[in-house]
Amino acid sequence: METFKKLKEFYWPYRKQFYISLIFLILVTAITVVYPIILQITIDEVIYNSKYHFVPYLAIGFIFIMALKGLFTFFNQYLADLFGITSVYRLRNELYKKLQYLPFRYYDNAKTGDLMSRLTADVEGFRFFLSFGFAELIRFVLIVGLSLSVMFYYSIPLTLVTLAAMPFLAFVTYRFDKEVHPAFRGIRKSFGKLNTNVQENISGINTVKSLSREGYQINKFNNSNGDYREKYLTTSNVWAKYFPLMEFIGNACVVGLLGFGGYLVITEQLNPGALVAFFSLVWYIVWPIANLGFVINQFSQAKASGERLLEILEADEDITDLPDAIEIKDMQGHVTFKDVTFKYPNEDKYALESISFDAPPGKLIGLIGETGSGKTSITQLITRFYEPQTGVITVDGREVRDYTLHSLRNQIGFVPQESFLFSSTIKSNIAYGRPDATMDEIVKAAKMAQAHEFIMELPDGYDTLLGERGMGLSGGQKQRIAIARSLILNPSILVLDDATSAVDMQTEAKIQQELKSALHGRTTFIIAHRISSLKHADEILVLEEGRVVERGTHEQLIEKSGPYKRIYDIQYKDQKVILEAQIG
């Protein structure tokens, strides 16, 4: 029950609903046990003693009891379901909230489909046990306890004979639980992998089709689906192995009941009606014990689901506000790195080694280098997406850790290379970071990002509804909307991580021209592979394998025979060849 104890905060506040449903459950169970008693009275008093005048009263009483049972069952089930649904409502909200604040380190290894599975299938599995599983366990205790009380009242010897096989049934049920829980945990993990395959395939359908990898994806899904099937078959095998054994032990109880009970009736130690009532009551014990496997089944699924949910809830939020963190409102944007070293979790190689530089307010810093040289890592440390292992990063003279995450990131506009757009209007995508932005501010930001013109050509302009991940727009158009989304924040620090890589040279030149006024007074970091994007930078840092190997202005670096000059020669040589070919 350790899993349920850890999740107690989500369902315990609603225990009143559970307790009230429990009262109705007790009433329903008590009425259920009355049935065999009415049967015994009917046989012993009405039939054998010819008291037929009792028949109308028994019939009316029986109908009345059935009506009461139906009413009580309604309230019991409704309140139990309300208890489960209300509890997981809070749980699901808390899980989603937790996912918003987990660091990038967590998402480096997490699978989207698996997380979706946890927030849907696992939450639902836990809810089902809250709504019905707990109640079934209590109903089991009640029905067995009440039935045994009536059976002992009718005949102690027959009750003891009937119960002789119960320890064997209990042992088999215990063994069943030991095998079925690991099996269900395997099912949950396999289902998460299956979800991940589906999610990745749908998200990357353009890549799949462009490379004609449909067959590969089908085989990959078949393998995941096959693993899911095997996990389920393993569980079915456990069920098929134990359930017939449970049923056999239950039937053995009935054989003992009929044999010894028949002897008691023949020797007139027991009335026939009591034997018939006994037969009904024994099934009230046998079937709950046998069906305890179903409850254990539900419990095992809920436990496996709860464990997977706790993995999210208990995940370490290692990047949080310090107790004395301050709000930063009027940021100047003075960024300094002092001997910063950093490597990503689960990586042996350092992404950055001994990085030091100073970016005064309003300056433009260019970052260039091969893929994996550490350019993006620098900007992700400024925003505290990750923490460095050693060294100090300051903004306006204070360590970035001294500021609250919300106020720090509110002052930094970040445009990643892969621009993510939400399934909403273009207007709401641009104003995502500032929902209170006016239409004039939205249009101004779009114009600076060279996005206004193509937006107005769309059927509904700024009210055009985008598909998932911005489907319907080109890569360059998505990047320009992402740039507008950052500019509307009026940030003190702006990071453009290869933000114009998907636009053509002409559009890039227009964006840079418009950005000149927008970048005025802001500290800007531009990550680029094109030298044309960095030529106007106040300082350019050239990185190789996590180290700054060159620094200076474009003119200074061109004069050297270093990595920057080699990149320049390659790019401009290619452009010269293309130009000569066009002229020729």
Give yes or no for residue 584 having a pLDDT over 60.
no
pLDDT value at position 574?
54
Burial 409-448 (b: 16+ CB within 10 A, else e): bbbbbbbbbebebeeebbbbbbbbebeebeeebbbbbbbb
For residue 143, give the nearest of 155, 133, 151 by alpha carbon: 151
Q: pLDDT confidence of 316, banded at 50, 70, 90? A: confident
Which residues have a Cβ under 8 Å from the Cβ of 578 and sit 6 or more positions away?
A: none
Give pLDDT tens digits for 549-573: 999 999 999 888 888 888 888 877 6
- Identify any residues that bridge with 335 across adjacent strands, giving them in sequence order: 359, 395
Domains of the chain: 2-313 (1.20.1560.10), 326-411+492-505+516-555 (3.40.50.300), 418-490 (3.40.50.300)
Amino acid at 356: S
Tokens 């239409």 correspond to: 439
| Cβ–Cβ under 8 Å, residues 511 and 452 | no
Of 97-101, 140-144, 210-214, 335-339, the one with minimum mean pLDDT is 210-214
What is the Cα–Cα distance from 371 to 378, expressed in whole angstroms?
13
For residue 282, give the nearest of 409, 162, 193 by alpha carbon: 162
In what side-by-side order are the strands of the sheet with 352-359? 352-359, 335-342, 390-395, 398-399
What is the Cα–Cα distance from 63 to 232, expressed in whole angstroms?
44
First CA to last CA across the chain, in angstroms?
80
Beta strand pairing status for 390-395 and 539-544? unpaired
Alpha-carbon distance values, 447 to 88, 459, 487, 512 (Å): 45, 18, 10, 12
Give pLDDT tens digits for 212-245: 677 877 888 888 888 888 888 888 888 788 778 8
Of 186-195, 240-249, 439-448, 568-577, the one with minimum mean pLDDT is 568-577
Please provide the DSSP assignment of 472-535 as one string.
TS-HHHHHHHHHHHHHTT--SEEEEESTTTTS-HHHHHHHHHHHHHHHTTSEEEEE-S-GGGTT
Give pLDDT tens digits for 110-121: 777 778 878 888
pTM above 0.85, yes or no: no
| Cβ–Cβ under 8 Å, residues 110 and 78 | no
- Identify any residues that bridge with 368 across adjacent strands, giving them in sequence order: 542
Query: At 216, which helix (H) or strand (E)?
Result: helix 214-266
Q: What is the mean pLDDT of the chain?
A: 83
Query: At 421, which helix (H) or strand (E)?
Result: none
